[in-house]
Structure 1
Amino acid sequence: MRKLLLVFLFIGPSVFSQQENLQEKSFFTQELYMHLSDYNRKADLAYRFNDYEKGKQLFENFTNDHLEGSYMDNFKFQSLKKKEVNLYDYDKPVFLITYASWCIPSKGEIPALNELASEYTGKIDFVVLFWDKKDKVKELAQQFSSDISVVYVDESKNNGAYVVRQLKHSLGLPTCFLLDKDKKIMDIRRSVFPPMHTGEETAYRENYIALETSISKNLVKEYDEVYADNIQVE
C-alpha cells in the first residue's frame, strides 16, 4: 500500500495534468458546431443589406474569437497519386489554402505563394486544397511550385463529405489557415484581392507582403523556437 501511494504521488499528478490538457483542447469542428449558426445569421443579414464592411468585421470577429486557438481536425484528402493524405501527416507548421476551378485566385496570389514556399522550404508545409475532380486538379496543379503539396476532395464521388461540410461550406473559399506543428489554428485569413486595374507586379507584392507578414508572425517564430529547443537538448 505504501508503494502504491508513492507511485500515485509521483506519477498521478502528471497523468491527471495530461488528462486535463486533453479536455481543455478544443477542435475546429467543435467550435463550428457551437458558433457557426450565430455567425451565419448575422453575416447573412449584413450581406442582405450590402453592408460588406460589416460582413468582413463579423468574419474577423468570428474567427478571432472562436476558431483561432482551436485545433484543426485530422481531415483526409487525396493526392494526385491517388493516395489518401491526412492533415496530420504534415509534421511541420502548415499553410493551408482552399481553392476550386470556379474560384478565381487573387491576381498575384499564386506567384506569391510559389515564392514563399521556396523561401520557407524545410520550415513550413504549404498545402493547396482543391474542391474538384482529379483531372481538373492535375491541370491546375501545374501553376504551383513543386514545393507546394496539392491535394483535393472530389465531391462528385461522394467522398470526403465531412471535410467538405466543415472546411468548404463553413467559411467559403478561398480561405487560408495557418497551423502550427501541432495543428493549432494560429490565424485564418481571406485572400487579398487588389482592384482589377492593379498591375501584375503590384498585385504580386501586395499578396506577398500580406502572406509573408502572417506567416512570419504566426508560424516561423513558433518553428524557430522549437528548433532552438531541440538544438539545446541535443
Structure 2
Amino acid sequence: MRRFLLTMLFTLSISFSYSQDTINYFSDAIRKNTKSYTKASNKAYERNNIKEGKDLFDSLVKNKLVGTKFDDFNLKVYKEKNVKINRINKPIFIITYASWCVITKGEIPALNILAKEHRNDMQIIVIFWDKKSDIKNIAYKFSDDIKVCYANENYTKDAHLVATIKHTLGFPTSIFIDENKNVVNIKHFENTIKLKTPIKQAIITSYNYFSKDINENLVHAVSNNKGFTTN
C-alpha cells in the first residue's frame, strides 16, 4: 500500500511539473515568433505598405499572443512600491509611452476618468520607457487610480521587460490581460485628435476611444474565464 501511494505521488508530481512547463508564456511566444514577424514587417514598411504592416501585427497578436500567460513582471511604480503583475487580482489595461513622445491632447484626462470608473473591476497601468527622472514632469498628471511605471534599458532588472515589450511591440501600445493574467488583446493605438481640437472635445473623443476598447476587452475576459471562445 505504501509503495502504491509513493508511486501515485511520484506520478502526480511529474504530471504537475509537466503542466507547469507546458504553460505558453507571453515572453516565450514573443521570442519564438518575433524574428519572422520583424523580417516580414520590415519588408512591408520598406515598400511603404502600411496596411500590410498593420495586418502582420494583428496576425501576430491574434494567432500567437492572445491567450498566452502574461509574465509576472516586476514593475517600478513612480512614488509607490514596486508591484508584480500577479499581485494585481483583477484585469489589467497596460499602456506604453515614452516621455519624449507627445501624448495626444485629451488622452491623460480621459484615462483618469476611466481609471476612476473602473477602479473596482480593472487596473490601468502606464509604462514609460524612461528613467525615473525623465517622467517627473508628466507622472503627476495621472490620477492616483493609475499606476505610473517606468522601465529603461539602463536598469539591469528591466532588460527582460524592455526586450519583450518595447523592442518587439513598439509604442504607444495597449495590452489587456484578464484577472488570470491571460492576454486578451494587444493593439497599436492611434489617437487622431488634431492639435487645435478644443480640450473638452479632445477628452470626449479619447474617452470614447479607450472606453470602447476597455469594455470590449472586459467582455472577452469574462467570456474567456467562463470557458467560451471569443474569436
CA offset at residue 197 of structure 1?
Answer: 5.6
Judge which range, 178-187 or 110-119, deviates more.
110-119
RMSD: 2.9
Taking the aligned partners of 2:135 and 2:48, their CA distance within structure 1 comes to 33
Q: Please say if residues 72 and 85 of structure 2, whose CA atoms lie closer than 8 Å, have aligned partners that are also in contact.
A: yes
Q: Does 1:171 align with 2:166?
A: no
SS of the equivalent of 1:129 reads strand
Q: 1:2 to 1:158 in 2, by over 3 A?
A: closer
Report what 2:208 is aligned to.
209
CA offset at residue 133 of structure 1?
Answer: 1.9
Report what 2:96 is aligned to.
98
TM-score, length basis structure 1? 0.82
CA offset at residue 136 of structure 1?
Answer: 2.5
Report what 1:60 is aligned to.
58
More helix by share: 1
Judge which range, 155-164 or 11-20, deviates more.
11-20
CA offset at residue 13 of structure 1?
Answer: 9.3
SS of the equivalent of 2:119 reads coil
Q: Please say if residues 184 and 220 of structure 2, whose CA atoms lie closer than 8 Å, have aligned partners that are also in contact.
A: no
Q: Please say if residues 192 and 206 of structure 1, whose CA atoms lie closer than 8 Å, have aligned partners that are also in contact.
A: no
Q: Please say if residues 123 and 223 of structure 1, whose CA atoms lie closer than 8 Å, have aligned partners that are also in contact.
A: no
Report what 1:85 is aligned to.
83
SS of the equivalent of 1:47 reads helix
CA offset at residue 172 of structure 1?
Answer: 0.7
Q: In structure 1, give the amino acid aligned to 2:189.
A: S
Report what 1:141 is aligned to.
139
Judge which range, 206-215 or 146-155, deviates more.
206-215
Q: 1:19 to 1:110 in 2, by over 3 A?
A: same
CA offset at residue 19 of structure 1?
Answer: 5.3
Q: In structure 2, give the amino acid aligned to 1:212.
A: S
Taking the aligned partners of 1:159 and 1:139, their CA distance within structure 2 comes to 24
What is the aligned-residue identity percentage? 33
For structure 2, which runs of at least 5 residues remain unmatched after alignment? 226-231
Report what 1:219 is aligned to.
218
Q: Please say if residues 104 and 193 of structure 2, whose CA atoms lie closer than 8 Å, have aligned partners that are also in contact.
A: no
Judge which range, 215-224 or 32-41, deviates more.
215-224
Q: In structure 1, give the amino acid aligned to 2:136.
A: K
CA offset at residue 108 of structure 1?
Answer: 2.7
TM-score, length basis structure 2? 0.83
SS of the equivalent of 1:36 reads helix
CA offset at residue 120 of structure 1?
Answer: 0.4
How big is each residue's C-alpha offset from its partner over 1:81-130, in whole Å with a ceiling of 9 and x where there is no partner? 47332222212110111111112223332222111101101111111111
For structure 1, which runs of at least 5 residues remain unmatched after alignment? 227-234
